[in-house]
A = this chain, B = another copy of it.
């Protein structure tokens, strides 16, 4: 997110991420995804990812797209319109690696609301966007965090890793 808390402009644009693009620097993403076997994302985020016209970045993982409409599975992409806490509880009851919540704001909000997020890695981009879609919406319960690590990178991105308590 930007330091003022936005993950995209009002038009869902992500141009500000180019401020921290650096050849050979993926900010730990490849290593992180190796710890993951399941991805949850909102429908809007899913469609945004598809619009990039690149290979689906979560191929090979079980992917749950949270949606209000009924759609058939597309390979390992499952469209889920049920109860989010049940889904998480079901996934956690199985053996496996981490579950990655790949946005967006609405899905994160619903999960934080039910205190279903165990860890957060937040990358702070050195920019004030001034407007846009907030990572954290108002009206959630208070939740304490434990800082696991903080790392600053060349281009001014600071990555904060928290455990939710």
Contacts and interface: CB of A to CB of B under 8 A. Distances in A.
A145 B162 contact: no
A131 B160 CA distance: 21
Contacts of A138: 130-131
Nearest to A156: B147
A126 interface: yes
State the oligomeric state as a number of copies.
2
Interface string A127-165: 111110011101111111111011010001110101010
A145 B162 CA distance: 24
A50 interface: no
14 contacts: A4-B5, A19-B144, A112-B130, A124-B160, A126-B144, A126-B145, A127-B145, A128-B144, A128-B145, A128-B164, A130-B141, A145-B156, A146-B156, A147-B156
